[in-house]
A and B are shown apart, each in its own frame.
Chain A
Amino acid sequence: MSKDGRAATHFSLNEPLLFEEGSPGRRAFDLPKCDVPPRNLDDVIDAKLLRDQIPAMPELSEVDVIRHFTRISTWNYHIDLGLYPLGSCTMKYNPKINERMARLEGFALAHPYLPAHMIQGALEVQKTLENCLAEISGMDAVTLQPAAGAHGELSGILMIRAYHESRGNPRKRILIPDSAHGTNPASAAIAGYVVESVPSNKRGTIDLEPLRKLVNEDVAAIMITNPNTLGVFENEIAQIAELLHSHGALVYMDGANLNAMMGITRPGDFGIDVLHINLHKTFTTPHGGGGPGAGPVAVKKILEPFLPHPLIEEKSDGTYSFNYDRPQSIGKIKAYNGQFGMHVRALCYILANGPEGLKEVSEVAVLNANYLRAKLKDDYALAYDSPSLHEVVFSDRVQARQDVHVWDIAKRLMDYGFHPPTVSFPLIVPGAIMIEPTETESKQELDSFVDAMLSIAKEAEQNPELVKSAPHTTRIGRIDEAAAARKPVLRWRKD
């Protein structure tokens, strides 16, 4: 390991499972005394309906609980600690004010079933966010209901289906490039469509000519990611959209990579009919160790009647209300109206940036990615030569000659104090190393990462075993995943 690298040894405490801790009689919680006239529980409810107390639930003190979770928390890598170069995942800094605003009691304790005049603040926040997302994406209408990106995909494809059905034929197929996220085909399948894969060309993009042969009146839509998962802008996107439209088909865009284009170009202006937006990527809502996310969907006018209900309406007197009377709607995709706490955070971020700020976000995100590309391209093989936007994809081709593969490089990065990039995706690049630094990393942080990567490249050549047996400094080593999956242990049980 290099002497000036990020990583250093530090304390790490062991901590058992909650269920292995505690002691009878410990408490971390006191309930105020019941202030209604006392009654025997047996007189109120049939004892046969009641269970025994759960003996295996641990009894803990407040200090026990705090120590337990604080200790296990220190075993996590996280964005406040350092760079998370996960391509496609857009791990950027989560502004602290977002968290504070989402926790305001007026938001945290609001209930969506109260009459409209009691929830005007929440409705205004949602409507304002919808308007901002429509402008950023160049679309006409937005639903905030979907809970995550994949959920937004499903909503979008269901709207496409409803649109075709309203014209008499739902059609059969959805075209998806082979570089797409796995959620795309999975979502299309739940919407009842057959998935057809579209091969990428040598530049990593979609060619118009072969696509012509695939498109006919059976095709409901194409699901396209732009910039695609290689970080490359589909330069024929407008012509692709035109081709699909000429056959009555629609164009769905996976908005995972919106961070590359805010204020630069807008999906609505290059022929996209519907896209989802990951608020936990571009708009800084925290990933939370795997959720909650939020996946609003923006559509063109032709799809507006099919949006999930309710829709938020702004009346001429400046008040807001939910409109449930939407006869052509696909229905509800989630109870209530989306992950509201995430909406507050995203709006806070958009307002903190303004139009100039958001454009600067995309510019610096692209600058940072290209900087890493320039610094790493002599030691790691570029998967494609095409110009990179917000992310760059390498392959492990050079290192594989020493039998050092992408997972080894990923694990070795942990020894240098970094989270690994996205690996083995997109599937069209063997041994893919997909790096997206985002705009919230400084030149110094990027330089440290470059040092680590170059050092690993050298190790792969001179001491491949060191890399192949990594990580060496983490709390635990590589877990035998095959064994864990063969006989899965999914919960604690008393011995």
Chain B
Amino acid sequence: MRYIPNSQVDRQRMLAQIGVDSIEQLFSGVPEKLRLRRLLDLPRALTEPELLEYFRQRASKNEIGAARFVGAGIYRHYIPIIIDALISRSEFYTAYTPYQAEIAQGTLQAIFEFQTYIAQLTGMEVANASLYDGSTGLAEAVLMAQRVTRRNKFLMAKTVHPEYRAVVSTYARNLGIQIELIDYTTDGRLDLEGLERRLDSRVAAVITQSPNFFGTIEKTHDIAEIAHKHDALSVTNICEAVSLGILKPPGNSGQDDDGGSDTPERRTADIVVGEAQSFGVPPGFGGPHVGFLATRERYVRQMPGRLVGMGKDFAGRRGFVLTLSTREQHIRREKATSNICTNQSLCALMATIYLATVGPKGLREICEQNILKTDYAVTRIQQHTKHRVLFPAPRFNEFVIQSPVPPAEGGRNAPGISLSRFYPELGNARLLCVTEVNSRDQIDAMVKEFSA
């Protein structure tokens, strides 16, 4: 086998040094009756050319055109070439978790830079080293809010990504957590009056998403203020991280250099959690992506996941190191803040390189094109098709359309995704996403499909 260096000659020499005759003898600790005395029933070994053919054939069976206009939590943005060039360096992708700080400063510094970018973009004081993805990140945020408030009831917007809500339920089920859904209004945003009515002193946190699953922008600061009136936390979920380049952040760390507005603390989120796939990570059929979690400094010891801190060595040189690990499972075991052991280091690195590459101006321009192209698509659909565009509230790069008639035969090929699995009450509705990668021609062709 080409990945195993030791030849039969090497192996014989090593066996002699160990003092046994055969490798078989080294397995003497495995009881004979538990031994598998046949070969595994697996496909025969393939050579490299055969592997290339095998995977190319299968890859070619997936439809990958950007003209499908599918978003719903996984976004198509342009991915600069230098990201792959850099993360393909063995120094990054074949390195282990940076427990040995002296020989892992590259990974540690990159994560520290990721934490800084996320804190700046969300307007929060601190961010962690990343989490598996947005959905598990939101579940971790719920458990964190339970620890901070010692309350068990959560109010969650129905416009939070439906699969994220499902993951939260799976995590929460056995921890005494109750989750109540808050409906949306006809403008496609959280029902603020409904929220006020449902809030009481048992509520740990209000969970919203902005832009929400329908693509509309929530009034995150008003929501935070309402939650805080009842001493509940405000948790904001961000599925479309690129939007942070132009929309007011849910937090405001009070730092002018973060570009946050001067929003008072009572109107800012306590936890901002989300998915940074939009920052240079390909859709990849749903993963790997990269979750993030940002919060106020005073909650840092309740945070899940790894944290990289800045420190000094004995000679006073600046260095970076995993810190506050007394929260973590390898020390605290069943009393840890989370069972998490890995983060998504390499994907966090991709996001960091993306942000360094596009820079503040590039990110702003990307955002502007998302808004303008989406607006163009919406206007064209309203003018040239019989479809209704639902939800008039301001949007970023997604929108919902509703067909006046039930889906036609073959309608399963239409652009966007059907919302019937997640929101049956919307009838024959579809969610569409337009980003900077979509050309005017693609948008016009899509409009034409809906006008037929």
Contact of A292 with B26 at beta-carbon distance under 8 Å, contacts A122-B285, A348-B51 already known:
no
Contacts of A132 in B (CB 8 A): 42-43
Cα of A241 to Cα of B288 in the assembled complex, Å: 35
Cα of A60 to Cα of B217 in the assembled complex, Å: 31
Contacts of B249 in A (CB 8 A): 51
For the complex, count residues of A whose C-beta is within 8 A of B.
Answer: 204
Report whether B440 and A36 are in contact in the complex, using a CB–CB cutoff of 8 Å.
yes
Cβ of B215 to closest chain A Cβ, rounded Å: 12
Q: Which of B28, B80, B98 is A29 in contact with, Cβ under 8 Å?
A: B80
Of the candidate stretches A80-88, A209-217, A242-250, the one touching chain B is A80-88
| Binary contact readout B1-14 vs A (1 if CB under 8 angstroms, 0 otherwise) | 11111100011011
Of the candidate stretches A148-156, A297-305, A394-402, A453-461, the one touching chain B is A148-156
Interface residues of B in 237-295 (CB under 8 A from A): 246-249, 255-261, 282-288
Contacts of A202 in B (CB 8 A): none
Report whether B283 and A443 are in contact in the complex, using a CB–CB cutoff of 8 Å.
no
Cβ of B223 to closest chain A Cβ, rounded Å: 14
Report whether B334 and A263 are in contact in the complex, using a CB–CB cutoff of 8 Å.
no
Contact of A290 with B376 at beta-carbon distance under 8 Å, contacts A333-B170, A341-B284, A477-B102 already known:
no
Cβ of B440 to closest chain A Cβ, rounded Å: 4
Report whether B63 and A443 are in contact in the complex, using a CB–CB cutoff of 8 Å.
no
Contact of A28 with B82 at beta-carbon distance under 8 Å, contacts A77-B100, A190-B175, A364-B4 already known:
yes
Report whether A57 and B63 are in contact in the complex, using a CB–CB cutoff of 8 Å.
no
Q: Which of A81, A109, A287, A491 is B126 in contact with, Cβ under 8 Å?
A: A491
Report whether A111 and B70 are in contact in the complex, using a CB–CB cutoff of 8 Å.
yes
Cα of A493 to Cα of B89 in the assembled complex, Å: 29
Cα of A332 to Cα of B287 in the assembled complex, Å: 15
Cα of A341 to Cα of B344 in the assembled complex, Å: 13
Cβ of A124 to closest chain B Cβ, rounded Å: 6
Cα of A308 to Cα of B255 in the assembled complex, Å: 43
Contacts of A80 in B (CB 8 A): 90-91, 94
Contacts of B248 in A (CB 8 A): 49-51
Report whether A410 and B100 are in contact in the complex, using a CB–CB cutoff of 8 Å.
yes
Contact of A105 with B64 at beta-carbon distance under 8 Å, contacts A34-B369, A113-B417, A287-B94 already known:
yes
Report whether B94 and A17 are in contact in the complex, using a CB–CB cutoff of 8 Å.
no
Interface residues of B in 312-369 (CB under 8 A from A): 312-315, 317, 319-321, 323-326, 328-336, 338-347, 349, 352-353, 355-366, 368-369
Cβ of B301 to closest chain A Cβ, rounded Å: 9
Inter-chain pairs besides A264-B30, A264-B35, 19 sampled, C-beta below 8 Å: A17-B109, A29-B80, A39-B376, A54-B257, A55-B360, A56-B258, A110-B63, A136-B42, A149-B342, A154-B339, A237-B34, A286-B93, A287-B94, A336-B285, A361-B3, A366-B23, A443-B6, A489-B311, A490-B307
Pairs A–B under 8 Å by Cβ, sample size 23: A36-B440, A51-B261, A59-B360, A77-B100, A78-B92, A101-B51, A104-B59, A109-B283, A121-B60, A125-B55, A192-B175, A287-B97, A333-B170, A348-B51, A353-B45, A354-B46, A355-B42, A443-B10, A476-B105, A477-B317, A488-B300, A488-B324, A491-B115
